[in-house]
């Protein structure tokens, strides 16, 4: 059966306050969707989830309601819920929003980012690229990649910009190129090429921020995202085939 929890989580029943319980379960399920433990289109079985997490089905239901409000889950009449499967049109829409907002964030960050934050990004740079020889390192790579971008996004210091970008990232994340289905569709040459290109973009973005060049940071971010979207669309067709 699908393990949603890293082994360390243990049973949640020690949390007596039901509100904080829903908060916890909501976060755990969202992480499971974002990190591919549930795939786009997969059914979510409330009873099984309640058993696995040691909580009531009511808690699961409330957490699923929150995920539906966030756009990560789709509830179906009489059929329970499933992880939302975006269409290519949905993803283009999300990427358009991400281009606008993240371009703004990078431009603002170029003026405001601290030398410490730039140093953190530089340290992360070699750790954000997936090594296909070590598939187990993927969760760490994804976390580092996210941190790299988010140091810059948070440096924009615009609260709502940061808030909405976080939301968009959560919706796009299950479709990133490193997801298992998409990885299987790439030859090792394509994978190597893709990671080299990825590293180049991230290095250029960092250099633009270090040079305090907001226009350049925006332009590089745009090129990176458009390139990512194009690759994603080429491989989405695999994802959209039902089991």
Per residue in 142-151, pLDDT (tens digit) is 889 999 999 9
Sheet with 73-76, side-by-side order of all strands: 43-44, 80-83, 73-76
Q: Tell me what percent of the chain is helix, strand and coil, each rounded to the nearest 5.
A: 70, 5, 25
What are the tens digits of pLDDT across the range 126-174? 998 877 778 777 778 888 999 999 999 999 999 999 999 999 998 887 7
Tell me the C-alpha distance between 197 and 223, whole Å.
11
Greater pLDDT, 31 or 158: 158
pTM over the 0.75 mark = yes
* Sign, CA torsion 243/26/76/97: negative
């Amino acid at each position: 059966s699908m393990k949603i929890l890293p082994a360390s989580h243990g049973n949640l029943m020690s949390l007596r306050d039901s509100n904080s319980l829903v908060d916890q379960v909501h976060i755990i399920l969202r992480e499971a969707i974002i990190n591919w433990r549930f795939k786009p289109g997969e059914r979510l079985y409330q009873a099984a989830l309640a058993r696995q997490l040691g909580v009531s089905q009511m808690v699961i239901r409330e957490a699923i309601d929150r995920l539906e409000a966030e756009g990560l889950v789709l509830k179906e009449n009489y059929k329970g819920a499933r992880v939302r499967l975006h269409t290519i049109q949905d993803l283009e829409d999300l990427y358009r929003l991400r281009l606008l907002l993240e371009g703004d964030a990078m431009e603002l960050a170029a003026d405001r980012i601290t030398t410490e934050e730039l140093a953190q990004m530089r340290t992360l740079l070699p750790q954000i690229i997936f090594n296909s020889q070590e598939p187990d390192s993927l969760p760490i790579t994804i976390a580092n990649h996210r941190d790299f971008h988010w140091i810059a996004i948070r440096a924009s210091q615009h609260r709502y910009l940061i808030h909405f970008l976080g939301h968009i990232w959560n919706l796009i994340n299950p479709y990133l190129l490193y997801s298992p289905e998409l990885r299987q569709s790439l030859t090792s040459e394509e994978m190597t090429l893709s990671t080299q290109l990825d590293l180049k973009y991230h290095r250029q973005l960092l250099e633009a921020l270090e040079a305090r060049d907001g226009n350049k940071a925006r332009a590089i971010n745009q090129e990176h995202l458009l390139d990512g979207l194009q690759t994603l669309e080429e491989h989405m067709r695999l994802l959209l085939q039902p089991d």
